[in-house]
C-alpha cells in the first residue's frame, strides 16, 4: 500500500489573471478539510522552486482571498527552470535539478501547477524528472486544449464589454470609427466574445481572413444607412495584409518572447486614409487581466481547484482538469502541452454573430 500524500506545493505561473486566488483557496481548503494535507505556497511561479522561496498556506491565510485579483503567491512568465536566467543577467542555465532538489528538501510529494500552456509545458518536463504534477488551466485567452473554458476569460470579456459600452457614446457623438484591441495572442476568443457582448459592428480575429477593402466597405455601408459611427474589435494576433504581426516588443527571457500589440493603431490609420472617416484606436492591454474575478470565474476556479486537489490526493498525476460540455474532466498534460485551441471559423457562435449583422471583414 503506497503512502498517503501529506504535503504538497502550489504555484501560479505565467501571467496573472482574475481567479488565481480562488483556485489557491479551493486547493488549500480542500486539501486541509478533506484530506488533511499540508500546503506549501511556492512564490513567483517556478522561480520559487529554483530559488527555494516557499511559505506555509494555512487555512487562515487562504481565507478572504476569493474576491481578490492577481495571486497572493506572485507569478513569473520568465522563470523556466530548464532555461533559467541567472539574476536577470542573460546568463541562462538548466537549473531544473536544483528545482527538483528543493522540491524534495521541502518534503513535498506533489506539485499543483496553476497556469497556461507555458506553465503546463514546464510541469510536463518536471514530471520527466520525477515530480508528480496536476495542472489547472489559467488564461484570459481561453486557448488551452483540454477545456472548453478557462477561468479568467469571463472576467476579461466583462472588461472588454464595459469598454465597448463606454466607447459607443464617444463614437456616436463624434461620428467616428472606434477600434478596440484585445489580448488573446494568436487566438480570437476574447475579441469574439467581447465583440459580441459589446455590440461590435466588425470583429476581426486571427482565424478568419479579412480584407481592408471589406472592412472599409462595411464602414461606408453603415454611414449610408445613417449610422455615422462604427465599433471594430480586433485581436492583437491579427496579421497585416503583408502576413506580418504588429509586434510591440520582444522578451527573449519569456516562454513566448513575442509581445504583440498595435494592430488597432495600424488599422485606424488605414481606415482614415481609405475612407476619410476619423478613426481612433484603444488598446485595452493589461486592463483585461486585472481586478476582481466575476462570479462565473469564482465558481469555475473553485470547481477546478477542488477537482484538481481530489485527483492529486488520489495520485492521479500528470493530468489537467477542465470543463468539457458542461462536465468537469481531466486530460493528460502531454496531450495539451505546447498546443493552442483556436476559434473554429464554423462555430455556431460565428453564425449567430453574422445573423445579427456582425461582420468579420471577410464578406
Are 113 and 222 in a shared domain? no
Would you give the DSSP letter of residue 60? G
141 classed as catalytic: yes
Is the pLDDT score of 126 beyond 90?
A: yes
Is the pLDDT score of 168 beyond 60?
A: yes
Total tally of structural domains belonging to the chain: 2
Are 103 and 90 in a shared domain? yes
321, part of any domain: yes
Are 89 and 197 in a shared domain? no
Are 220 and 274 in a shared domain? yes
pLDDT tens-place string over residues 55-91:
999 999 999 999 999 999 999 877 899 999 887 777 8
326, part of any domain: yes
Q: Which of 186, 189, 209 is nearest to 362 (CA)?
A: 209
Q: Which domain holds residue 90?
A: 7-151+293-336
Are 103 and 15 in a shared domain? yes
Q: What is the pLDDT of residue 255?
A: 60
pLDDT tens-place string over residues 247-279:
777 665 556 667 788 899 999 999 999 999 889
Virtual CA dihedral for 263, 290, 185, 300, nearest 10 degrees? -140
Virtual CA dihedral for 95, 314, 115, 156, nearest 10 degrees? -170
CA distances from 285 to 85, 156, 264, 292 (A): 26, 10, 12, 16
Q: What is the pLDDT of residue 259?
A: 77
Annotated catalytic residue, options 16, 85, 141, 297: 141
Q: What is the pLDDT of residue 2?
A: 63
Give the contacts of 51 (CB within 8 A, at least 6 positions apart): none
Q: End-to-end distance of the chain based on CA atoms, in angstroms?
A: 63
pLDDT tens-place string over residues 147-157:
999 999 999 99
Pairing of strands 230-235, 177-182: parallel
Report angle CA 73, 76, 78 to the nearest 5 degrees.
160
pTM, rounded to two decimals: 0.92
Are 284 and 300 in a shared domain? no
Per the rule left: phi > 0, alpha: psi between -120 and 50, beta: everything else, 285 is left
Residue 301: its H or E element: helix 295-313
Amino acid at each position: 500500500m503506497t503512502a498517503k500524500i501529506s504535503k504538497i506545493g502550489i504555484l501560479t505561473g505565467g501571467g496573472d489573471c482574475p481567479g488565481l486566488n480562488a483556485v489557491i483557496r479551493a486547493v488549500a481548503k480542500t486539501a486541509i478539510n478533506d484530506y488533511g494535507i499540508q500546503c506549501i505556497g511556492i512564490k513567483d511561479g517556478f522561480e520559487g522552486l529554483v530559488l527555494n522561496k516557499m511559505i506555509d498556506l494555512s487555512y487562515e491565510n487562504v481565507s478572504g482571498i476569493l474576491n481578490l485579483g492577481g495571486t497572493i503567491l506572485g507569478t513569473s512568465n520568465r522563470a523556466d527552470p530548464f532555461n533559467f536566467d541567472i539574476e536577470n543577467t542573460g546568463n541562462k542555465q538548466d537549473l531544473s535539478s536544483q528545482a527538483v532538489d528543493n522540491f524534495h528538501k521541502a518534503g513535498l510529494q506533489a506539485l499543483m501547477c496553476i497556469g497556461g500552456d507555458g506553465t503546463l509545458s514546464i510541469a510536463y518536463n518536471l514530471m520527466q524528472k520525477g515530480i508528480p504534477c496536476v495542472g489547472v488551466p489559467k488564461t484570459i485567452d481561453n486557448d488551452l486544449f483540454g477545456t472548453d473554458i478557462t477561468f479568467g476569460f469571463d472576467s476579461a470579456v466583462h472588461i472588454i464589454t464595459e469598454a465597448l459600452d463606454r466607447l459607443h457614446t464617444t463614437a456616436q457623438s463624434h461620428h467616428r470609427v472606434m477600434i478596440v484591441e484585445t489580448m488573446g495572442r494568436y487566438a480570437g476568443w476574447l475579441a469574439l466574445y467581447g465583440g459580441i457582448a459589446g455590440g461590435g459592428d466588425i470583429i476581426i480575429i486571427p482565424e478568419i481572413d479579412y480584407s481592408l477593402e471589406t472592412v472599409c466597405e462595411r464602414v461606408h455601408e453603415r454611414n449610408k444607412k445613417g449610422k455615422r459611427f462604427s465599433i471594430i474589435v480586433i485581436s492583437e494576433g491579427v496579421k497585416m495584409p503583408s502576413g506580418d504581426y504588429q509586434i510591440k516588443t520582444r522578451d527573449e527571457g519569456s516562454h513566448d518572447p513575442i509581445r504583440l500589440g498595435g494592430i488597432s493603431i495600424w488599422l485606424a490609420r488605414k481606415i482614415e486614409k481609405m475612407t476619410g472617416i476619423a478613426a481612433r484606436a484603444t488598446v485595452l492591454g493589461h486592463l483585461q487581466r486585472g481586478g476582481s474575478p466575476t462570479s462565473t470565474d469564482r465558481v469555475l476556479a473553485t470547481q477546478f481547484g477542488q477537482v484538481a486537489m481530489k485527483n492529486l490526493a488520489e495520485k492521479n498525476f500528470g493530468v489537467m482538469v477542465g470543463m468539457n460540455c458542461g462536465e468537469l474532466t481531466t486530460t493528460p498534460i502531454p496531450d495539451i502541452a505546447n498546443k493552442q485551441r483556436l476559434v473554429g471559423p464554423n462555430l455556431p457562435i460565428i453564425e449567430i454573430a453574422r445573423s445579427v449583422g456582425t461582420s468579420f471583414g471577410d464578406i
